[in-house]
Amino acid sequence: MNWCFIKHNWEYKEEMITYTNNLKSITMPTKVRLCNKCYKKQRTKGIDWVDWELTLDEERDLKLKELGI
């Protein structure tokens, strides 16, 4: 995996993310950003950004990019 030492190349989008609690779960649109160079993904948490897991499609794209396809 490549790492961005100087600056990330963020692509911003919105995803439906499910937040779960002991009593219920809520699905709501959340802003996320994905670096096109190193595939680091983050979601908003108030005014901060926190790391987030890649979707299956994003993992596939990362593996194809690593193979040079």
Q: Give tens-digit pLDDT for 6-60.
A: 788 999 999 999 989 888 999 999 999 999 888 899 999 989 999 999 999 999 9
Distance CA 67, CA 61 (A): 10
- This prediction has a pTM of 0.78
Q: Are 15 and 28 in contact (CB under 8 A)?
A: no
Token readout for 35 is 């670096």
Q: Are 14 and 25 in contact (CB under 8 A)?
A: no
CB-based burial label for 34 (10 Å; 0-12, 13-18, 19+): buried
